[in-house]
Chains A and B, each alone.
Chain A
Amino acid sequence: MNLINKPLIVVENLCKGFEDGEVLRNVSFTIREGDLASIIGPSGCGKSTFMRCLNCLELLDSGSISIAGVTISRRPGQVPDEKMLDIAHEIRSEVGMVFQSYNLFPHKTIIENIMLAPMVVKKQPKDEVYEQAMKLLDKVGLKGFASKYPSTLSGGQSQRAAIARALAMNPRVMLYDEPTSALDPELVGEVLQVMKDLDAEGMTQIIVTHEMKFARDASDYIIFMDNGEIVEYDDGDILFTAPKSERTKAFLRHFVNTGVA
């Protein structure tokens, strides 16, 4: 953790609801460049919605999100206009997202999956993109899988390929929405390792996870969410050993009791 790094992500009073009720209530927090933050919390607490709002897959209802100098803000009740949607698109291209179910494009090989966005969105020349993609595959340990189709990969391999695909767009921040939840236990490690390596390289990352041990060991800080709010927000060791809130205590106790941690 580097205390002199400036904030890369600033979220203020973020609210988001759907037809059946409010999901996020006045969420505010800041993440500095190079940090790795983990978000934990019970199912349905709004973790995933929070992630989807951060990269504007869901448009916020009100509040503001600022990522790498691009700011999207909305007053309550404001109708989104073209300009707001353009900003949302701009934010999306600064943010890499990795999903629980990998979502690789099944009609393309692994290397094509990685090369697609840089070529289509950034219009980079093919040779250049290919070289970069091969480097990324090497980084996630999938060099030999370039010409394979996603359906032939294991879950862990797929998720690593998905990370490489997101990295190919040179994002300023990487978001992971429960990246290991769909994996067999023995495959979780390889994916987490990639994230640790990225952290060492100085990548800013936010991870929604149930891997408490990883959250505690690897994160610069941990965000505990419950019922659409950020309940606690602290250094990993502090939050796990001396939680301030009763809700955090209850949640952590549950994990200890069930042995999942």
Chain B
Amino acid sequence: MKIPRNIIPLTFAFGMFWGSGAMADIKIGITISATGSGAAIGIPAKNTVALLPPTIAGQPVQYIVLDDASDATRAVSNARKLITVEHVDALIGSSIGPTTFPLVDIAAETKTPLIVMNPATGLVEPMDEKRKWVFKILPHDTLLAKGIAEHMAKNGVKTVAFIGFNDAFGENWYAAAVKTLNERGIKIIAKESFTRTDTSVSGQILKIVAAKPDAVWVGASGTPAVLPQKALKERGYKGQIYHTSGVASMDFIRVGGKFVEGAILPAGPIIAASELPDSNPIKKLALDYIQRYEALNKIPYAAFGPHLVDSVHLISDAVPAALNVAKPGTPEFRAALRDGLESAKSVVLINGILSMSPTNHSGYDDRARVMVRVENGAFKLIR
């Protein structure tokens, strides 16, 4: 395949002036999973592209967006194409773990700053020569898991059953659960798995109910997370059910209906943006994003879209200093951009307030997390 079929409809070129001026355009390459199994996460990002700023620090920006179809091989060829053919100054991607991890090697090899939109801690830890090119726009899953563990400890939960996806997502959350629960002396007494396309989890749920845990932690994302919740309710399970930030979208409530009432989950502040105090600087950014997204796309926003806006925001924070060093399109500019990203201090993003350091490339604090409960078909802030 010489020309990927998806490049034409997905290419958004904002820099219109060809010639000498085009040489100085900043180019940002974006690869996302707009189709395939990760589409639920990739499509909100795709819908966000048109909201990105047309200029950064007075320089025109070109965004080149490719779809990796949730396929790791395609993500790799997209990244190579963006870097070697388009000479992008920074790379943003991708939507799911399998398409994001391979980008790390390419970014390091070509010395291109990479902003990842996936929660996996392993993308930026342990910090080494390769990962120094990678910056994570999402908080660590342990930071989010801590919210669940704290809520459990506060409410006297002693034993927990975990049921998660049978893939990297589920395993990452399981690792985060083990770490945060052990610190608080809470025991995991059962661990079960299921897959996104399963039509029944009765077997797993029977085993969990038989173990009589005080609470259940569902390590799944999107609407498939409804399945174990529904099965637990149908089996008459009375304990508290916790979910991950992966279910923070209205689709979860739409599919789950009355079965997901009372579910508790950690999420980025945007989920309860209107309930945040006015003094919180995130509130204005988040409400602005929601308003612009919904005006443009005529559909409710999903929590996965802001990651792209935040990624570009973070880059634009580092651009002015890098422009003083070199012109866009050069290796020197990319290196300066990387240094700039690493020295970001208290940048206010929709996801939280970010401060990077040479050892921490996902420097969020607890302000990047709110705990919410599903009440009457909406996410309500737990204060």
Q: Do they bind each other? A: no
A interface residues, Cβ below 8 angstroms from B? none
B interface residues, Cβ below 8 angstroms from A? none
